[in-house]
Amino acid sequence: MSNSLLTLIANSFIGRFLVRVKSGVAKGARWSLYLWTSYWRGTHEAEEQEQMPRLFENWKGLHVWDLGSHYGIYAVGLGLRIAPTGSAAAFEPNPLSFSRLKLHVARNKLDHVYIFPCVVSDSHGQQRMFYYEGMETTSSHLAYENKT
């Protein structure tokens, strides 16, 4: 399938069709079908998702950050766990991923999850963002150390 067709599907009703996350850190959350993602199935980073709830006995009231939030599986999952007195900050620089993050946070009515369309880094300044297969993809990263 071409990237244009995939982008069209992702932004159509089909790609935004409401499903529930089946397992993992965001189990039960409202999600979008987005046909080729494993997020709503609960299989994305399964080991990490299984371990995360065990980090704290009680998540209520915690303030957490999700760096490189992508579609927001952790931002949404943690947002559900820390409510109603906690807060989460989710950072995602890729415009396509950010739009999906925004959709997922809104669908779950997580007004205590704050989203930011930017990179978080340990250095100041500007860097080039690299996109695999062009701007229409959600796979992106900053330059790796010692690479330009």
Please report, rounded to a whole number, the percentage of residues in the chain having pLDDT higher than 90. Answer: 47
Task: Tell me, yes or no, whether 120 lies in a domain.
Answer: yes
Q: pLDDT band for 142, please (50, 70, 90 cuts).
A: confident
Task: Tell me, yes or no, whether 63 lies in a domain.
Answer: yes
pLDDT for the residue 66? 96
Q: Taking residues 43-60, what's their average pLDDT?
A: 89
pLDDT for the residue 40? 86
Question: How far does CA 114 lie from the centroid of its chain?
Answer: 12
Q: pLDDT band for 119, please (50, 70, 90 cuts).
A: confident
Task: Tell me, yes or no, whether 97 lies in a domain.
Answer: yes
The number of domains in the chain is: 1
Task: Tell me, yes or no, whether 108 lies in a domain.
Answer: yes
**Residue that the structure tokens 């994305």 belong to:** 44
What does the alpha-carbon distance between residue 100 and residue 36 come to, in Å, rounded to a whole number? 14
Q: Which domain holds residue 101?
A: 3-142
Q: Taking residues 79-105, what's their average pLDDT?
A: 94
Task: Tell me, yes or no, whether 71 lies in a domain.
Answer: yes
Q: Taking residues 13-41, what's their average pLDDT?
A: 86
Tell if the pTM clears 0.75, that is, is over it.
Answer: yes
pLDDT for the residue 98? 93
pLDDT for the residue 35? 59
Residue type, 42: G
Look at the chain and count its residues.
148
pLDDT for the residue 128? 80
Task: Tell me, yes or no, whether 147 lies in a domain.
Answer: no
Query: Which of the pair, 74 or 136, is modelled with greater confidence?
Result: 74
What does the alpha-carbon distance between residue 70 and residue 27 come to, in Å, rounded to a whole number? 17
What is the CATH classification number for the domain harbouring 65? 3.40.50
